Amino acid sequence: MVITNASFVTSAASAAQIIQGETPEIAVVGRSNVGKSSFINLITANGKLAKTSKEPGRTRLINYFSVNSGQFYLVDLPGYGFARVSDAEKERWADIIEAYFRASPSLRNVFLLLDIRRDVSRDDVTMINYLYHFNIPFTVICTKSDKLSRSAAMDRRRKIALSLKVGPDNIIVSSALTRQGRADILQRIDEILAFGGADIVEDAEE
Ligand SMILES: Nc1nc2c(ncn2[C@@H]2O[C@H](COP(=O)(O)OP(=O)(O)O)[C@@H](O)[C@H]2O)c(=O)[nH]1
Ligand SMILES: [Mg+2]
């Protein structure tokens, strides 16, 4: 996968505004401040495409970005786990996330972002349960690897893999700063776009 261009398409603030087209979608989820917007900028090699913020918990919108002139959409979903939100806000978050999962037949895969320095939170587990419930394949990505030494990062990846009951090799380690993991992520996107659809084509090679 070579990314030649990426652009903002639209924001959805409510269920009615969710895009229901044929363009394959890959959504990005994770707690507020985990680095979702930075991750989208890393993938698209566009430093300013998705707005990043030091202030967590601001975005309540679903943001769609078109990659390679509509080859697929990257979808930035509202973050969770921000401590200072009311129950009403949490409910609104759950409503829009659920509406998105229900109303997005072109959703191929979800990139679940976890801060490599933090343990898997209850909110992360809730999100994973949502994904299982809606039968949505997902890819785990540990962000901000530049904050740790290489060996400490590998150690954290092993711990996170253990708590998620997956193999460490299934988790991609990334950094928006050093661009670590970008090639692996692009390869993953290739696989998702090739095999993620409802009509899986048999491999032509013997
Ligand atoms: N050191 C480092 N900082 C990061 C990385 N990714 C994001 N950040 C910082 O973490 C903060 C939140 O990032 P943002 O992308 O806005 O997170 P979002 O709320 O999940 O969209 C910002 O201050 C970013 O600059 C990374 O890979 N390395
Ligand atoms: Mg963001």
Is 48 near ligand 1, meaning CB less than 6 Å away? no
The pLDDT value given to residue 38: 95
How wide is the angle at C-alpha 84 spanned by C-alphas 78 and 86, nearest 5°? 80
d(CA 198, CA 176): 32
Positions in the chain whose pLDDT score sits under 50: 199-201
Dihedral-angle region of residue 182 (phi above 0 means left; psi in -120 to 50 means alpha; beta otherwise): alpha
- What contacts 132, CB < 8 A, 6 or more positions away? none
Kindly state whether residue 10 falls inside one of the protein's structural domains.
Answer: yes
CA of 191 to the centre of ligand 2 (A): 25
Contact 115, 144 (CB under 8 A): yes
The pLDDT value given to residue 44: 94
Is 36 near ligand 1, meaning CB less than 6 Å away? yes
Query: Tell me, what CATH number does 175's domain have?
Result: 3.40.50.300
The pLDDT value given to residue 200: 44
The pLDDT value given to residue 49: 86
d(CA 26, CA 68): 14
**Model pLDDT for residues 100-148, shown as the tens digit of each residue:** 999 999 999 999 999 999 999 999 999 999 999 999 999 999 999 999 9
Tally of domains within the chain: 1
Is 81 near ligand 1, meaning CB less than 6 Å away? no
Question: Which of 52, 59, 74 has most ligand 1 atoms within 8 Å of CB, for mutation?
Answer: 52
Residue 142 host element (H or E): strand 138-143
Contact 4, 68 (CB under 8 A): yes
Eight-class DSSP state of 80? B
The pLDDT value given to residue 55: 62
Kindly state whether residue 25 falls inside one of the protein's structural domains.
Answer: yes
Work out the burial of residue 75: count CB atoms within 10 Å of its CB; fewer than 13 is exposed, 13-18 middle, 19 or more buried: buried
The whole model's pTM is what? 0.92
The pLDDT value given to residue 58: 55
Write out the residue range of the structural domain in which residue 51 sits.
6-195
Kindly state whether residue 119 falls inside one of the protein's structural domains.
Answer: yes
Kindly state whether residue 206 falls inside one of the protein's structural domains.
Answer: no
Kindly state whether residue 178 falls inside one of the protein's structural domains.
Answer: yes
The pair of three-digit structure tokens given for residue 130, joined into one six-digit string: 């949502």
Kindly state whether residue 205 falls inside one of the protein's structural domains.
Answer: no
Q: How many residues does the chain have?
A: 206
The pLDDT value given to residue 106: 95
Contact 146, 175 (CB under 8 A): yes
The pLDDT value given to residue 97: 92
